[in-house]
């Protein structure tokens, strides 16, 4: 929330400017009502204080990243109108901004033509990709890795598509040997490659997945809800770089601007390589789409009403910080990865901790050193509490024994899933504060 005064001034100026364009509107409220609103909003401000300090550099836990002030201001400004990006009738300016912002995301993956739109988040975006997959390969199985987001199994269930998960290697990446055997059965219609798993930020080997899937006439969907923007950075390991470069060859991709894209929640994005899949969205609406023959976004989206404000915020953010290699946005993401590598080097070398493999993006998972999995789980929760008391907020993740055993050959696995510590280092400011983070961690490492 730093810089609030400047933020308020920019917003106030813009509100007056917008008001100038909307002159002569009748007042919605009387003076007395404003006093009541004032009182309610003061209560709201007090209630909102009951949260973890997500914006602070020492909040290094869950997948949470503060929206950029430009996104907040643009969103708040748009709320004065509250456009609905279902149809041009409800959001003319904001629909155009959505089309421009989404085209820029498609270009980020190397696509000069595409079909796509914003969604409420990664779940809805993935749902659309799997739904289109199911329309093209009816009744065929969806395959995703055991580390894929749980949403894929659930969505497949909603869509009544058979779903199976493919084991991963110890880094959390889809095992392509098993995938090959599975594809040879001939009943799979779509493979989901996760580029940036939720637990550890693992990147599935997309080049190999594409090769295998194409040989079996199978579609490939990339779930890069978390990792997508890492297509812009130049400091991934070689396999990560190769995987992101091949998104251009997939059939569909999801990226969440409300994760790494500096947006308030309510902003996912689905993109299809073939604009022809738009035919599946066709629907009859007797009461909308009258104002223009141009594309109304509701014609290519499963959701009807959607917040135009989300598109306005994304458009403004991308105007300030274009998602291009070498730009300021990419530089900030690069620093997140540097922070993760620095934290991983620290825990890897520390006698009180056990690391797993080198992170592929900016998520680090590690655990306190102990001989038994049960003790490791208990101690992870203790470190989680102790660091929180010192102002350092971490997260926890449960990882399967198969992913941990190769890194921890001397551990006795008296349980199949082990609770570990997890940090999503999503804020560039983490890189400047890695010394403070590791100092607290070091202090809290003992029993």
Binding site for ligand PLP (CB under 6 A): 63, 121-123, 126, 149, 151, 194, 196, 198, 223, 225-226, 256, 268
The order of strands in the sheet holding 188-194 is: 115-119, 268-272, 252-255, 219-223, 188-194, 141-145, 163-166
Instruction: Single out the residue of 59, 53, 2 nearest to residue 433, CA to CA.
Output: 59
Alpha carbons 132 and 280: distance in angstroms, whole number: 7
CB nearer to ligand PLP: give 221 or 354. 221
Closest to ligand PLP by CB, 155 or 210: 155
Closer by beta carbon to ligand PLP, 122 or else 400: 122
Which two tokens mark 397? 């993740």
The answer to whether residues 110 and 248 touch, using CB atoms and an 8 Å cutoff, is: yes
User: Which residue carries 């739109």 as its tokens?
Assistant: 117
Task: Provide the minimum distance between the beta carbon of 149 and ligand PLP in the complex, in angstroms, as a whole number.
Answer: 4
Smallest distance from ligand PLP to CB 100, Å? 22
Residue whose CB is nearest to ligand PLP in the complex, by number: 122
The stretches of 113-192 forming alpha helices (DSSP H) are 122-136, 151-159, 176-183
CB of 33 to ligand PLP, least distance (A): 36
Q: What number of other Cβ atoms are within 10 A of residue 54's Cβ?
A: 14
Task: Round to whole Å and give the CA distance between 163 and 133.
Answer: 13
Q: How far is the CB of 221 from ligand PLP (least distance, A)?
A: 11
**By C-beta, is 179 or 444 nearer to ligand PLP?**
179
- Give least dist CB 59 to ligand PLP, A: 17
Report the C-alpha gap between 291 and 272 in whole angstroms: 26
Q: Report d(CA 429, CA 264) in Å as an integer.
A: 19
HSE-up (13 A, CA, CB side) for residue 414: 10
- Burial of residue 75 (CB within 10 Å: 0-12, 13-18, 19+) is buried
C-beta of 267 vs 376, nearer to ligand PLP: 267
Nearest CB to ligand PLP, comparing residues 126 and 433: 126
354, containing H or E segment: strand 353-355
Shortest distance (Å) from residue 258 CB to ligand PLP: 6
H helices present in 361-400, as ranges:
373-389
Q: What H or E segment, with its residue span, contains residue 65?
A: none
Residue 291 beta carbon to ligand PLP: minimum distance, rounded to whole angstroms: 31
Q: Minimum Å distance from CB 121 to ligand PLP?
A: 3
Nearer to ligand PLP, 69 or 122 (CB): 122
Using the minimum distance from each CB to ligand PLP, give the nearer residue, 129 or 383: 129
CB 68 within 8 A of CB 6: no
Considering the complex, what minimum distance in angstroms separates the CB of residue 256 from ligand PLP? 5
Of 224 and 433, CB closest to ligand PLP:
224
């Amino acid at each position: 929330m730093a810089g609030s005064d400047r933020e308020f001034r920019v917003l106030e100026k813009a509100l007056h400017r917008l008001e100038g364009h909307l002159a002569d509107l009748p007042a919605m409220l009387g003076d007395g009502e404003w006093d009541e609103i004032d009182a309610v909003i003061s209560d709201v401000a007090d209630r909102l204080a009951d949260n973890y300090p997500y914006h602070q550099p020492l909040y290094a836990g869950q997948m949470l990243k503060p929206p950029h002030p430009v996104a907040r201001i643009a969103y708040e400004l748009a709320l004065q109108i509250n456009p609905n990006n279902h149809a041009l009738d409800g959001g003319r300016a904001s629909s155009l901004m959505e089309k421009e912002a989404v085209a820029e995301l498609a270009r980020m993956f190397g696509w000069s033509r595409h079909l796509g739109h914003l969604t409420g988040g990664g779940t809805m975006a993935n749902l659309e990709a799997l739904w289109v997959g199911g329309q093209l390969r009816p009744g065929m199985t969806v395959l995703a890795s055991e580390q894929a987001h749980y949403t894929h199994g659930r969505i497949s269930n909603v869509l009544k598509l058979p779903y199976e998960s493919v084991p991963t290697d110890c880094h959390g990446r889809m095992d392509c040997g098993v995938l090959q055997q599975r594809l040879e059965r001939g009943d799979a219609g779509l493979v989901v490659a996760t580029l940036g798993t939720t637990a550890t930020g693992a990147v599935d080997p997309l080049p190999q997945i594409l090769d295998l899937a194409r040989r079996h006439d199978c579609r490939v969907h990339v779930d890069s809800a978390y990792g997508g923007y890492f297509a812009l950075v130049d400091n991934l390991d070689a396999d990560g770089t190769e995987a992101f470069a091949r998104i251009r060859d997939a059939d569909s991709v999801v990226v969440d601007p409300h994760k790494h894209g500096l947006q308030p929640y309510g902003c996912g994005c689905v993109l299809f390589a073939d604009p022809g899949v738009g035919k599946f969205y066709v629907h009859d609406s007797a009461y909308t789409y009258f104002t223009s023959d141009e594309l109304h976004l509701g014609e290519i989206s499963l959701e009807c009403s959607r917040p135009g404000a989300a598109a306005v915020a994304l458009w403004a953010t991308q105007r300030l910080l274009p998602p291009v290699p070498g730009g300021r946005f990419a530089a900030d993401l690069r620093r997140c990865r540097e922070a993760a590598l620095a934290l991983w080097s620290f825990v890897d070398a520390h006698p009180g901790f056990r690391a797993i493999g080198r992170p592929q993006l900016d998520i680090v998972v590690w655990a306190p050193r102990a001989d038994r999995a049960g003790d490791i789980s208990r101690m992870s929760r203790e470190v989680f509490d102790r660091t929180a008391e010192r102002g350092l907020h971490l997260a926890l993740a449960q990882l399967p024994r198969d992913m941990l055993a190769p890194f921890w050959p001397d551990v006795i696995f008296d349980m199949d899933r082990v609770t570990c510590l997890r940090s999503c280092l999503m804020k560039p400011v983490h890189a400047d504060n890695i010394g403070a983070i590791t100092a607290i961690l070091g202090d809290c490492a003992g029993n």
